[in-house]
Copies of this chain bind each other. A is one copy, B any other.
């Protein structure tokens, strides 16, 4: 069960409105790596965690914080939109910079949300449940978490460079810091899983013996770039082998004879079509 206080985790006050920036900031709310994603990702991971204690508690602490991040950003967007020329008509706008602002606004922030944030990204695409990862395997999921926090911090950093507003920058500095610590904690938690003997470096550790023991250590050279084998991965005792001219291991990829009731095109008396011209019983004849 959850409780809420009206106090924001960190202040979210722009010095002045900026409707074009409010448009871009949607990416951090409802984008694939926005705050809605980490909120839901950590909540579902926590609820589905099969092991009580430090891991689950860390997940739930972080999940609960992230709901508050959506709150900060939604508040910031509403404030950035204050006084936005949402209803200025093309006709009435004589100032070209104002005209450009009109073009750069998110029409739905005005028409749909009445001057507020949307659960969508900076191109208006709605947040959806496929953005999250919660598999029950903590190694696989913590990797996804570290990756999500990295993408999220990267996008925050890009957006940090797209504004001069001291209020916005102050909040984003806080967000950058939180993304940093979250990246760090998931990386540390991955080490912990191994230290606890729960997982190894390959997720999931099971089935490792059963899998093909040759093909799990070779890189297939299938693009003509000459340098793939010049990385550190090609050196050392545990190097990965680079197959420079790999050959297919399987036979031709063919599909079986179709079910006639599904009407895939097929010539029942011949394997290949190249030779059947003139011989086939014309389906058209059947129609006449």
Convert A184-209 into 0s and 1s, putting 1 for each residue whose CB lies closer than 8 angstroms to a CB of B: 11011101111111111111111111
**Contact flag A227-B100 (CB < 8 Å), given A23-B107, A108-B122:** no
Q: When chains A and B are docked, how far (Å) is the Cα of A121 from the Cα of B124?
A: 9
Are A57 and B255 in contact, CB atoms less than 8 angstroms apart?
no
Q: Are A221's CB and B61's CB within 8 A?
A: yes
Is the pair A232, B192 in contact by a Cβ cutoff of 8 Å? Answer: yes
Give this chain's copy count. Answer: 6
Whether, in the assembled complex, A237 has its beta carbon less than 8 Å from a beta carbon of chain B, the answer is no
Which residues between 232 and 257 of chain A lie within 8 Å of chain B, taking CB atoms?
A: 232-233, 240, 247-257
- Tally of chain A residues near chain B (CB < 8 A): 219
**A116 CB, nearest partner CB in chain B, Å:** 4
Find A137's partner among B159, B264, B285 (CB 8 Å cutoff). Answer: B264
Within 8 Å CB of A5, what residues of B?
1-3, 223-224, 248
Bound form: Cα–Cα A144–B33 in Å: 11
Contact B180–A258 (Cβ < 8 Å): no
Residue contact A197 to B281, C-beta cutoff 8 Å: yes
Would A161 and B3 be within 8 Å (CB), given that A8-B252, A189-B231 are in contact? no
Known contacts A10-B250, A225-B61, A274-B53; decide if A262 and B86 are in contact (CB<8 Å).
yes
**Shortest distance between the CB of A159 and any CB in chain B (Å):** 6
Q: Mark A137-180 against chain B: 1 for CB-CB distance below 8 A, else 0.
A: 11110011011001101110111111111000000011011101
**Contact status B151-A27, CB under 8 Å:** no
Q: Which of B36, B68, B78, B101 contacts A1 (CB 8 A)?
A: B68
Q: How far is the CA of A215 from the CA of B208 in the complex (A)?
A: 40
Across the interface, which residues of B come within 8 angstroms of A227, CB to CB?
52-54, 56-57, 272, 274
Cβ–Cβ < 8 Å partners of A9 in chain B: 1, 220, 248-250
Interchain CB contact under 8 A, B223 and A116: no
- Bound complex: CA A192 to CA B200 (Å): 20
Check B151–A135 contact: CB distance below 8 A.
yes
Chain B residues positioned under 8 Å from A93 (CB to CB):
97, 100
A74:B52 contact, CB within 8 angstroms? no
A100 CA to B99 CA, complexed, in Å: 6
Identify 6 new A-B residue pairs, CB closer than 8 A, beyond the known A32-B130, A173-B210, A198-B280.
Answer: A87-B262, A123-B125, A174-B249, A183-B201, A184-B217, A196-B273
Residue picked from A122, A134, A154, most chain B C-beta under 10 Å: A154
Of B83, B107, B165, B230, which is within 8 A of A122 by CB? Answer: B107
**Contact among B7, B47, B103 for A100, CB-based, below 8 A:** B103
For the complex, give the distance between the alpha carbons of A104 and B105 in Å: 8
Residue contact B263 to A27, C-beta cutoff 8 Å: no
- B259 in contact with A84 (CB, 8 Å): yes
Closest Cβ of chain B to A197, distance in Å, is 3
